[in-house]
Structure formats: C-alpha cells, structure tokens
Amino acid sequence: MREPQPTTIHLKDYAPPAFLIERVALDVDLRDADALVKARLEIRRNPASTEPRAPLALDGDELQLAAVALDGVLLRANRYSLNAERLVIPDVPAAFTLQTVSRIVPQNNTRLEGLYASASGFVTQCEAEGFRRITWFIDRPDVMARYRTTVHADKARYPVLLSNGNLSASGDEPGGRHFATFEDPFPKPSYLFALVAAKLEVLEDTFISRSGGQKQLAVYVEPGRLGQAHWAMDCLKRAMRWDKQRFGLELDLDHYKIVAVGDFNSGAMENKGLNIFNAKFVLARPELATDHDFLAIDRVVAHEYCHNWTGNRVTCRDWFQLSLKEGLTVFRDQEYGADSYSRGVARIQEVRLLRAGQFPEDAGPMAHPVRPQSYMEIRNFYTLTVYEKGAEVVRMQHTLLGEEKFQAGMRLYFQRHDGQAVTCDDFVQAMQDASGVDLAQLKRWYDIAGTPVLDCSGDYAAGRFTLRVRQSMEPPFHIPLAVRVGHHETVLPVTQREQAYVFEGLEEKPVPSLLRGFSAPVILNYPYTETELVHLLAHDDDPFSRWEAGQRLASDIVLRQDGEPSPAFLLAVQRLLQDGDPAFIAEALALPSESFLAEQLEVVDPDRLHAAR
C-alpha cells in the first residue's frame, strides 16, 4: 500500500481566511488517562475574504469530537461534516459563537506537538500547527484572537498551572484538584498558545519599567534545579532593559514567565508571556558551565524575549513569511549580544556560522530562498537560511539606512501593524517609507536562493583608485558593500552586474578594506598580496576585516603545507596581541577549521591537512 503524497502549499495560492476568531474561552481538564477540552469561539466572517459564502472549516488532528453547538444550539451529525482533519459547518451566520467539546490523549502524544506529557507534567508546543491537536480551530497565523484559558488538574501531581497572560482566578476543586484561569489581553495567533501543568519550583523577581510599571517575573524549573535559574533571570532583565533603550519597546504584560523542563522538544519557544525552554538552553551551574554556555543562555533568553514584539505583537501572515519574525528577531538578538559584549567578536562568530552552515545550504540540493515559494512540510523550513540569512537581509537594511532611519522604520512598522499578521514586504515598505530609501531591488534577497559572489579588482594611478565590482546574480541584487579606501569610508550600493567606483585624493596606492563588518552575506574575491593582507591584519580598524585577513594568511600557510609563516606575518600577529579586546585576540588567533580548508582544495589528503594545520 502506497503512502499518500503530502500536499504542496504555494505562496501564490494564499487567500485571506474566510472567518476570523475574535475571542477564545478554553477550558482544559487534565485527567489521569486523557484531557477534556471545551472551547468557546466568537467568530465572524472576514470582510477581506474572497469567499463570502464559504462554510466554516476548522482544523483538527487526533481529536475526538464529543459535541458541537452553534449559538447555544447543539448540532446534530447531519448539520456538519467531520473527518480526521476537518470539521466543516455550512450555512453559518455572519457572526456567531461556536462551542466544541473534544477528548485528547496527551499522555500518548509521541509527536510532541500540541499538548503532551513530559517527565514533570504537561507542556505544549504549538508552532507551527500544533494547536489543532488541542481543539478544533482555524489554525493559521493570520487568525489572531484574545484568549481566556482555564486549566484543571490534580493539585498534588501538578501544583503549578500556567498559561498565557495574567492570572485572573484560581482555587481548589473537589477531589484534591485545583484550577487556574489566565486572561491574555493581546490578540495572538494559535501557534503562540501555551499551557503548563507540572510540579515545578519558581524563582521570582520584579522589574520596574521606564514608565514606572512593576513587572512580575518568574522562572519555573524542575525540583532541585532552582539554583541554576539565577543567570536566566538576570539575562531576562538585561534583555528587557536593552529592548527599551535600543528599540523603545517595553514589556506589555504584568507577568512574564519562563518555564525550563528537561524534555521540552523544541529548544525554546516564544509563547506570549510564557516562554518554554529545554533546560539545557536556560539553566547553568557556575562550577560546570563554560563561558560559552553562559553567553548562549543570554542570547537565547534575549531572542525569545525580543519575540514579544517582533513575532508576537506583529506576526507573520502565513508560514512563507517565517523570516519576518525569525530573521528580524535573530538580528535583534545579535544586536543585543553586540551591545552587551564585543561587537567585533559577535560579528565574527555570526560569519563563522553563516559560512559553516548557511553558505553550504545555499550551495546544496536543499537550497531555498529566505521566503520559500512552496512547501510540503513547514517544519522543514526552520533553517539557517530563514533565520540567519534572514537576519542578514534585515542587517543590510540597517546598513543602508543607518541606525536613526532604521529605528524610524521600526516605529512605523509597529504603528502600522501592531496586532496584525503581515508579510516581509510590509516590513520593507515601512523601512522604505520612513527613510525615503528605495529598497525595491533589495527585496530580491527574500525570493532568490544562492550566495552572491563579488569579484573585485583595483587599479591605482595618479592619486586615483578605481574599484571594479562584478556580481554573480542575475537579476542583480542590491548589495551594500562597506569599504574603506585610504581616508574614504563608505557603503557602496552594488546594484548592477558590473560597476566601477573611483576614489580620489590619495597620496599612495591604498590597501582597500572591503566588506567591512561583513556588510552583506556574499563571497568576495579580491587579489590581495600577502603584504596587503599582513597590512590589513596589523593596521585595519575593522575587526572583521582584520580577522578575515588573518584567516586568509593562515589558510595560505596551512595549504602550502610547509608550516612556515613569513616574518611579516609574525610581526602582524605581534601587533594583534596588543589589541585591547582579549576575546577578539582569541578569535583572530584561531586557525581556520579543517572543513573550511578542505573546501579550498581540489584533492584532499586528510592526514596531511591535519598535520599541516
């Protein structure tokens, strides 16, 4: 028997939902062998829909429907159609209330999507399409609703009950059970729903916002691990402070909660006001964790917190726009790391990740654009291209606009789209409108796969240096090329297949510093001599350019396999050791990896390469 072929979903086929859900009242009763889920949905037809007479179609997956009622009237089986994936009700009014009662078995949910049992209790993972495994719903990101959630469970086994938003009621129930009700005041898509029922310990703290409001913060951990939660709490408060200072964005909830459990399947998830982490990404013991571990926790806590605005308050219209929230939030957490620690080192580490993972992805059989045009399974597109290259597309806009105009674009983006589900084009349009800079050509980065190659050359005569640039992409991309030539420092807008740029008033032949700060995710070729690379390593004021020059010199020495650096190279390294940033010195002295070096060879002898390195 042949397995059914998965359906291919195309971006070009997007249509607005036929219905919108305004409010959700969810009641989840966790029992010994299953869970009973009652949902009350306030629904209205979407005036933007292209199908004004469409029936109501709700998504479901492994749900056992017990009852369904429309405006309080129980529906008979002949009034709706039901299969394993859809509940369809024809002839519904323009606005109505729908109630469903369903049975689920989270104890047997081995797919770990929706609500499932963990070692310490119950947790949820709803991105991208897990909410349909909890209740019948229009489970797509452009349907945003306000939620009231009530959870019931055994008090001794599951003393902590959590969901999105602020706690509005709680208490004991007969039979040793208890309940908690949470109100989330902000509309959100279903993938941001979260529920936790578990035996946990809590670290609590407060944060006074710049506007004077007091925020209640909590980090929940499995019993015996409370001492490992203090760093995560410190990281959360730093991220909150930074987001207000740098982006003007403040926490919009009275309560913000982090849950860390050892068997959470998705690493980290930005559910509105209730982030859930795998414990290894958020807990640390000073006597066992490395500096890298602490820095990684800082970044991932910041990333999930930054999603509160870029992803939660403004979300993606459809899953093709995944990079709208992930690329932008990766850029924001990168900037948090750069502002908090060493900007140069942070950038070098980002470039390492791109070259080691995303560039090969772009060059291989699984290459895809930042915004794919089709998919069969959206989970396959949580990739380095969508996240890291997507962040580079945002960074290029920041480079072209500058900090002031970029922040103006961010403010306009939120003014226009707060509480909406939008597209990558909407983000670029806000940047363009706020700055007056034409970004139409830059949008090709979203829709065309591949890593551009810039082949550069330079000529010097009579005080003039001409830099010639040829790019590989057709149609041409808009590539911001940050350069310094002599005393000239600028960002060149590379927008054609071939361009030439002239720098005048030079007293001697310059050594051009190209792609400063790795201003675009490209491969740049320039015929530097060894003397020029040594000059850049010793004297350039851009950390990436210095590191890049050192990597090229070290690669040449290793690939020659004679292991003998030149005296000039040794003098440059000696000057490098005088740098005031120890973290940068460590990065600059690290040799290129064997895998990177192997890519430079037509025939690889692993033993000889290892010995030479």
Q: Catalytic amino acids?
A: 304
- Which helix H or strand E contains 613, and what residues bound it? none
Q: Do residues 553 and 534 make contact, with C-beta atoms less than 8 angstroms apart?
A: yes
By the 8 A CB rule, do 262 and 268 touch?
no
The C-alpha atoms of residue 158 and residue 98 are separated, in whole angstroms, by 30
Cα–Cα dist 357/522, whole Å = 14
Q: What single string gives the DSSP state of each residue in 254-306?
A: SEEEEEEETT-TTSEE--TTEEEEEGGGT---TTT--HHHHHHHHHHHHHHHH
Strands, DSSP E only, in 31-154? 35-45, 56-59, 64-70, 73-74, 81-82, 86-89, 95-104, 114-117, 121-125, 144-154
13: exposed, middle or buried (C-beta count within 10 Å: 0-12, 13-18, 19+)? Answer: exposed
Half-sphere exposure of 163 (CA within 13 A, CB side): 26
Task: Determine contact, residues 164/271, Cβ cutoff 8 Å.
Answer: yes
**Is 334:346 a contact under the CB 8 Å cutoff?**
yes
Q: How many residues does the chain have?
A: 613
- CA–CA–CA angle 398, 404, 407 (5° rounding): 70
Helix (H) or strand (E) holding 246: helix 230-247
DSSP 232-243: HHHHHHHHHHHH
Q: Per the omega criterion (within 30 degrees of 0), is the bond before 128 cis?
A: yes
Token representation of residue 424? 């990558």
Nearest Cα neighbor of 440 from 491, 476, 403, 481 is 476
- Residue 219 DSSP SS3: strand
